[in-house]
Structure 1
């Protein structure tokens, strides 16, 4: 644990969006850590704040979005002097973000490759452009590096593909191109926002394996955004469970999958499809997420939580460490020493025990 090198530290991040109906408090006090060479996953239902958090890291919030408070400290080593540098991304200007951070030190792979690629530009030009912009590489140097990147991401006949346009490639190949563009400036952090959603299952597995291979080769730190816990099980070292703009549970992959403590995490795990289940219907978490235009009183999950206590309706729970763990934290009043002892649903316990035996 001591030799882990922290590369990104988010503290007390609060983000709101101005709308015609009022201010939406989309992110409410998020704390997050990312270490060199490690993979964290951010999971939760749609609208929980996963993508907004990572867009804030990239400095690409929508024009109606505002960071109300908090810090996003990013650490890197100067490529010339080797000195350790630390900057708060929140305090950086648009020009600094564009020149220093976006695409250069932190890169992002979006979920739909067709909206990430310019349909009027050749693949080669799109892969070369970031290198020519950030590192002032000549066309010849950028072309050679682009060829290497296409081969790295598993594109066959790379020279021919350089001349192609996006519409001439399959969905899986387009996503590989997007990954190649993201890697073109040798970033330290790669953010993957649902990178396999638009792809069929067999291609999904190949893209996930590809990202893992590249991560090992380049010692990248990776942030996955997903609602698919099956993906999380394959790729993540640490998991952050988000609900209504807050991280409600965080821990190692084993802690979240085999010893979850928050009722919302129980619901997400119960909703995973299972071929061996005896149930006729897939489990769904009852109710809907809160409308964050209105102030959230107490625990945001309380109205959907059958284990909610009276205090949940009045006070937002603090974050507790799970006894015996330095990595497993839960934001729930059920973790209070005076709270009644509540066990996870028996059906979920059997399912998790089965997954553990099978080494899933």
Structure 2
């Protein structure tokens, strides 16, 4: 763990709900999250677990029927002129302040499908130049020169020609590179990547992940990855937050989550990863389905799907327990209580993790990994 880490984002007790025709949906329930300068955190979990909603709240991009019921999202930075440390609670900002100070300028987002992020009626060049001209009042000539630099940075060849292209004239991988260039156009401190490679084939996916890592090192960006793909997590993350039913149920370093997982849900996620070396004929699946968050969740939300559930799981929601001998590893499970019966992870998963450890995976330094490939 690095010394003197500089915190850039601090989320505390975040609760978000949505008004729907079926009632109020409690999509995010008491999330705590920290992001430090130059580091990468991953938020993983099934669809509907609250991953994207949490990060859209950071951007101030919740849908009209969504609301932050309680909690704070503190953004920390040093003033570019005085060097003085500053803090702002994003939850308290107006739409105008979010638009002018946060979105694109300090925190930028790369979405899952580049075709929904790009304007089909505008040239690529204009879309990259526009944020710079809006936020920093750059002239057309300055914005054009910076746009060419960005296109080269994200690996687009013949940049001058591409500036005149429209999105439909480019491949999926090139469009995603353009979206990354737009996200970087105002030199943000935080980059949020929401399933940035889901719509791409495996070879392009690897190139996009390497590209984001290279840019992160050059610009000392802090990155948040939202994904359900643990193979992606293994390649990129320093820290992992496992989300289930709107809550973070386990958090720790990449090695702690992959080699020493403690929550039964994390066991299920790791067991359900594709593995070329397995002797099993079938891929493991977690039984049951996530709860309907339009109804009140009593006790531990994962209890109905958890074969190791205790009686207390049906009555009380577990707090975060600190894993002994670790400053970073925490688990929201009653199995971590000192008086709980000792339950070990499934033997098949233990063997798989031991095999991964022998191979030196996960190796998120940008080298090749077999996870999820």
TM-score bracket for this pair, using the shorter chain length: over 0.9
Shift of 1:80: 1.8
Q: Tell me, yes or no, if structure 1 residue 336 matches structure 2 residue 337.
A: yes
What residue is the counterpart of 1:168 in the other structure? Answer: 169
The aligned residue for residue 323 of structure 1 is 324
Q: Secondary structure at the match of 2:258?
A: helix
Please, what TM-score do these two structures have when normalized by structure 1?
1.00
Where 2:276 maps in the other structure, the secondary structure is: coil
What SS is found at the alignment partner of 1:343?
Answer: coil
Offset at residue 337 of structure 1 (A)? 0.3
Q: CA deviation at 1:276?
A: 1.2
- Counterpart for residue 150 of structure 1: 151
Could you give the per-residue CA deviations for residues 151-190 of structure 1, whole angstroms, max 9, x where no partner exists? 0000000000000000000000000000000000000000
Determine helix, strand or coil for the equivalent of 2:349: helix
1:233 has 2:213 as partner: no
Q: Where does residue 113 of structure 1 map in the other structure? A: 114
The corresponding residue for 1:271 is 272
State the SS of the aligned residue for 2:224.
strand
Residue 369 of structure 2 corresponds to none
Tell me, in whole angstroms, the C-alpha distance in 1 between the residues paired with 2:120 and 2:320. Answer: 46
Partner of 1:95: 96
Give the SS at the match of 2:342: coil
Offset, 1:81: 1.8
Q: CA RMSD in A?
A: 0.5
Q: Unpaired segments of 5 or more residues in structure 2?
A: 362-373
Give 1:357 deviation, angstroms.
Answer: 0.3
Deviations 1:89-112 (A, max 9, x none): 000010000000001000000010
Partner residue of 2:368? Answer: none
The CA deviation at 1:40 is: 0.1
Residues 36-88 of structure 1, C-alpha deviations (whole Å, 9 max, x = no match): 00000000000000000000000000000000000000011112222111000
Give the Cα–Cα distance (whole angstroms) in 2 for the partners of residues 48 and 9 of structure 1: 20
Aligned-partner Cα distance in 1 for 2:201–2:3: 40
Aligned to 1:358: 359
| Range 332-341 or range 75-84, more displaced | 75-84
Q: How does 1:73-88 map to 2 (within 5 A)?
A: 73-88=74-89
Q: Secondary structure at the match of 1:275?
A: coil
Residue 302 of structure 2 aligns with which residue? 301
Cα deviations across residues 288-340 of structure 1 (Å, max 9, x unaligned)?
A: 00000100000000000000000000000011110000000000000000000
TM-score, length-scaled by structure 2: 0.96
Corresponding residue of 1:140: 141
Shift of 1:115: 0.6
Per-residue deviation at 1:278?
1.0
2:29 matches 1:6? no
| 3-state SS, counterpart of residue 291 of structure 1 | coil
User: 1:143, CA displacement in angstroms?
Assistant: 0.1
Aligned twin of 2:201: 200
CA distance in 1, matches of 2:134, 2:85: 24
Deviation at 1:280, TM superposition (A): 1.0
Aligned with 1:23: secondary structure?
strand
Distance in 1, matches of 2:114 and 2:231, equals 21
1:2 deviates by 3.9
Which position in structure 2 is the counterpart of 1:245?
246
Q: Which residue does the alignment assign to 1:30?
A: 31
Name the CA distance, whole Å, in 2 between partners of 1:2 and 1:208: 26
